[in-house]
Chains A and B, each alone.
Chain A
């Protein structure tokens, strides 16, 4: 029995949801997502997890991307924003997430 295994399973199962929730608010670039999730230890992820996941979400047309120049003399960044399809998917996910929370708290009572 290893609590770390269970934590990584939770993370794997919810990462897509978390990313869509973030990008739903505004356009994010990859490293920005990584550093924001890093501040929340249970959700901290590596580049090798986040970039391929973003790529898959692009392929599934839940996200779109665009390159944008920076004003701080940094190289251009690849920003991700949510699509209409992504928003619909996120709504469905949110409903299921609330279902899960309600079910768990019912069991806990």
Chain B
């Protein structure tokens, strides 16, 4: 086969790049089949054949016309799905995740610190020290060191439970997001 005909087919293949390789091979094979038929049966010269087939870009674009409009709506849809998904989880994640996870850590930490402080205060009081940097204050009420210890344990437990709740909320949120993500992506690949 003449070089100019091969070049023509290569151009077609190049312009068809957006299509799957298997489609491209099939299209080029079909055009090549017609070229050879025109050459051998109709005795046309390579120049006449190329003239009949027209501009390779026009021919390739004609193939793309249909499939691009189809894939574009598809990819736009996909783009919309993905964007909607990421903007939703992204924005909520931006607020929800730091809030719940930091709160969880802070509350659990405080939950442990509070009874410890109460214990230090109690021991200090029993040994006759006044520890100025440990002060319990519940609103306007300031209990003495002995009353403060059981109170600090109760507060500590409440804080710890609150922290644990926040942590569970964080885990639940992450789990929901990842199943949502999985579902979106699954739906996405199915189409």
Q: Is A49 an interface residue (CB 8 A)?
A: yes
B40 to chain A: closest residue by CB: A74
Report B54 CB to chain A, min CB distance, Å. Answer: 6
> A47-B31, A47-B59, A48-B59 in contact; A75/B66 too (CB < 8 A)?
no
Q: Is A55 an interface residue (CB 8 A)?
A: yes
Q: Which residues of A contact B30 (CB under 8 A)?
A: 30, 51, 78
Provide the A71-89 mask, 1 if CB < 8 A to any CB of B, else 0: 0111111100000000000
* Contact A56–B66 (Cβ < 8 Å): yes
Interface of B, helix, strand, loop or mixed by DSSP: helix
Q: Is B33 an interface residue (CB 8 A)?
A: yes
Report A25 CB to chain B, min CB distance, Å. Answer: 21
Q: Which residues of B contact A74 (CB under 8 A)?
A: 33, 36-37, 40-41
Q: Which residues of A contact B26 (CB under 8 A)?
A: 78
* Contact B33–A47 (Cβ < 8 Å): no
| Chain A residues touching B, range | 20 to 34
Question: How distant is the Cα of A78 from the Cα of B30 in the complex, in angstroms?
Answer: 6
Q: Is B34 an interface residue (CB 8 A)?
A: yes
> A51-B63, A55-B63, A75-B32 in contact; A46/B54 too (CB < 8 A)?
yes
Question: How distant is the Cα of A73 from the Cα of B66 in the complex, in angstroms?
Answer: 34
B35 to chain A: closest residue by CB: A75
B-contacting residues, A70-109, CB 8 Å: 72-78
Question: How distant is the Cα of A73 from the Cα of B33 in the complex, in angstroms?
Answer: 12
Q: Is A52 an interface residue (CB 8 A)?
A: yes
20 contacts between A and B (CB under 8 A): A29-B33, A31-B33, A31-B34, A31-B37, A31-B38, A34-B34, A47-B53, A47-B54, A48-B62, A51-B59, A51-B63, A52-B62, A55-B27, A55-B63, A55-B66, A67-B29, A73-B40, A74-B33, A74-B41, A75-B37
Closest 3 CB pairs of A and B: A48-B62, A31-B34, A48-B59
